[in-house]
Amino acid sequence: MTLLASLLRDFGDVDRGRLLALINKSIVDERAAVAAGATPRRGYDVGPRLRRTRLRPAAPRADIRLV
């Protein structure tokens, strides 16, 4: 049993069919949009805020001496 089928198992046949058709249409529409060159703006993809980077202290460098 697929995950989707297990999530929808408590729905009636009509509701399950309607939801599956809606999900399928959404997937088909998204694929068509991507194939046509439409991609979501990055801000909407990950959120409007910039990602914060954690500053790490620089690793100590070994003092290498050539003799």
What are 5-63's pLDDT values in tens digits?
Answer: 788 888 899 998 899 899 999 999 888 888 887 766 555 555 566 656 666 666 666 66
Residue 56 to residue 1: CA distance in whole angstroms = 46
Dihedral through CA 7, CA 13, CA 14, CA 17, nearest 10?
60
3-class secondary-structure state, position 65 = coil
Q: What is the pLDDT of residue 43?
A: 54
